[in-house]
């Protein structure tokens, strides 16, 4: 009699109790990985769009310069009195604030 009752019980619990750990894992990934990365990407995009002629910047490679010309894709930097270099706009790491420089 006992064996018949045990054989009729579903093994593994309900579907809801199996899905809850996956939902929690997705929420943790979202709040710890995806959301901060999107916020950082948004801030970088805002910084790149706000650049203007005369701003002092640092490239990803560590080169310091002043923006001489801007297009949608490229930036011409003045490194010293004579040297001008052309970079992709995406190669800019950050702008130097007046208080830093």
Q: What is the pLDDT of residue 59?
A: 95
Is residue 85 within 8 Å of 77, Cβ to Cβ? yes
Is residue 95 within 8 Å of 55, Cβ to Cβ? yes
Q: What is the pLDDT of residue 4?
A: 57
Mean pLDDT of 27-36: 94
Whole-Å CA distances, 82 to 70, 77, 100: 18, 11, 24
Q: What is the mean pLDDT of the chain?
A: 87
Strands 92-95 and 56-59: antiparallel
Q: What's the rounded Cα separation, in Å, for the pair 76 and 90? A: 13
| pLDDT bracket for residue 17 (50, 70, 90) | confident
Mean pLDDT of 35-43: 95
């Amino acid at each position: 009699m006992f064996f018949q009752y045990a054989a009729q019980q579903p093994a593994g619990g309900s579907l809801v109790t199996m899905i809850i750990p996956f939902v929690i894992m997705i929420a943790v990934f979202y709040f710890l990985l995806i959301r901060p990365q999107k916020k950082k990407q948004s801030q970088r995009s805002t910084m790149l769009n706000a650049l203007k002629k005369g701003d002092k910047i640092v490239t990803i490679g560590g080169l310091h310069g002043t923006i001489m010309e801007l297009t949608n894709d490229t930036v011409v930097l003045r490194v010293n009195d004579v040297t001008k270099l052309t970079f992709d706009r995406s190669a800019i790491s950050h702008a130097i604030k007046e208080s830093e420089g």
